[in-house]
Copies of this chain bind each other. A is one copy, B any other.
Amino acid sequence: MRELLNLADYRAAARGRLPASVFAYISGGSGNELAMRDNAAVLARMAIVPRALIDCRHGHTRVDLLGQTFASPLLLAPVAAQGLVHAEGELATARGGGALDVPMVLSCMASQPMETVLAEHGGSCWLQVYWQGSRARTLEVVRRAEAAGFAALVLTVDTPVNGLRLRELRAGFAMPADAAAVNLPAHAARALDVPAGGSRIFQGVMRSAPTWDDVAWLRQQTRLPLVLKGLLAVQDVLRAAALGADGVVLSNHGGRALERAPAPIRMLAAARAAVGDVLPLLIDGGFTTGAQVFMALALGARAVLIGRPQVYALAVAGDAGVARMLRILRDELELTMALAGCATLADITADSLLSLASAGMDA
């Protein structure tokens, strides 16, 4: 096997190793995959201006996040059903993240018990939660996370309805029973009984979707830090801040929710300007290099969540693969920082960026 030098290599290796339908499930986006492609396209259109001769010998990549300090501005994004690609699933991923001091945001759709995952990680993990159709059922999951010792809750709000993921449909993907979500109460299957003449979406699925009122209620129910994941509109970010959220993840769900959602990084600078410096903004969506992580930080992100590459690395080499993937990203980030003259994350600002579409000779 050729040496795995960057995250694209992990993707290629995973593709060669996973059943086509599983790879389609992981790698695909919704509809015509416009959101997914925008994630990559936007990241390609920015340059980083190097700065020379700056003393970086005391440099590091440490970051403060929800009151804790981590080795790097990276998190493992919540990805469901990791039993699909590796026998140990989330347990192995957790060990890989723990080894690099990278917090894992465990999906509530995990195929391993949340308590065990947390133990395997050994450090700080957050629990991602989908609304469970009612306040009571949602609270059940929250209480279990509190009891287990998760350090924060991440409520995903961008998929009250699932996008239509054609790639996996055409590949005939079906979730196998042994990758099922073991942490959710059995009654949580979404209600789909639709009144006559009603819409399957509006009067069906959306009946069990959460609203801002539900989030305000949830905010009152727990003392854990609460992060909202899947906002993009600046107004939504402002509302999250006003409601007392401890963080926001700008995300288009890796291009798997709204087919034409813009890349989150398009919205980052405006969101940062709107909410000021206090609320941590995190981001995900197509990040595969340390230089891209640098760009997100420069535009105002506190940290970056890594989704699909986590699964590719897990598929290729288990816990060691996840750790190595995270190490590559961090090395690339350090290299970028050193060449851009940034010794710490605080030194990374938008002054380092240059839009290739509008700058220089095109001005």
Residues of B near A58 (CB, < 8 A) are: 202-203
The answer to whether residues A52 and B360 also contact, given A163-B335, A199-B59 and a CB cut-off of 8 A, is no
Residues B199 and A60 in contact, CB atoms below 8 Å apart: yes
- Interface-side segment among A175-183, A227-235, A314-322: A227-235
Residues B57 and A206 in contact, CB atoms below 8 Å apart: yes
CA distance A114 to B213 in the complex (A): 53
Residues of B near A360 (CB, < 8 A) are: 42, 262-263, 265-267, 269-270
Interface set, chain A 82-130, CB cutoff 8 A to B = none
Residues A261 and B50 in contact, CB atoms below 8 Å apart: yes
CA distance A354 to B258 in the complex (A): 14
The answer to whether residues A31 and B260 also contact, given A42-B360, A161-B335, A338-B202 and a CB cut-off of 8 A, is no
The answer to whether residues A56 and B206 also contact, given A170-B2, A289-B259, A354-B266 and a CB cut-off of 8 A, is yes
- Does residue A136 face the partner (Cβ distance < 8 Å to B)? no
From B57, B157, B201, B356, A38 is in contact (CB under 8 Å) with: B356
Residues of B near A261 (CB, < 8 A) are: 47-50, 339
Residues A339 and B202 in contact, CB atoms below 8 Å apart: no
Residues of B near A236 (CB, < 8 A) are: 51-53
Number of chain A residues close to chain B: CB under 8 A? 97
- Does residue A211 face the partner (Cβ distance < 8 Å to B)? yes
**CB-nearest residue of chain B to A203:** B57
**CB-nearest residue of chain B to A299:** B361
Interface set, chain A 342-363, CB cutoff 8 A to B = 343, 353-363
From B201, B260, B358, A363 is in contact (CB under 8 Å) with: B358
**CB-nearest residue of chain B to A35:** B47
CB proximity of A155 to chain B, nearest CB, Å: 10
Residues of B near A331 (CB, < 8 A) are: 200-201
The answer to whether residues A207 and B57 also contact, given A5-B164, A32-B289, A50-B158 and a CB cut-off of 8 A, is yes
* Interface CB pairs A-B, < 8 A, 27: A3-B169, A5-B166, A5-B169, A6-B164, A35-B47, A46-B260, A47-B260, A50-B257, A50-B261, A54-B212, A55-B211, A56-B160, A56-B209, A59-B199, A59-B206, A61-B199, A160-B338, A163-B335, A200-B334, A201-B334, A206-B338, A260-B291, A263-B360, A265-B360, A269-B360, A355-B362, A358-B363
Show the binding face of A for B, using Cβ within 8 Å. Answer: 2-3, 5-6, 8, 31-32, 34-35, 38, 42, 44-61, 157-161, 163-164, 166, 169-170, 199-203, 205-207, 209-212, 214-215, 228, 230-233, 235-236, 252, 257-263, 265-267, 269-270, 289, 291, 295, 299, 331-332, 334-336, 338-340, 343, 353-363
Top-3 shortest CB links A-B: A266-B360, A59-B202, A47-B262
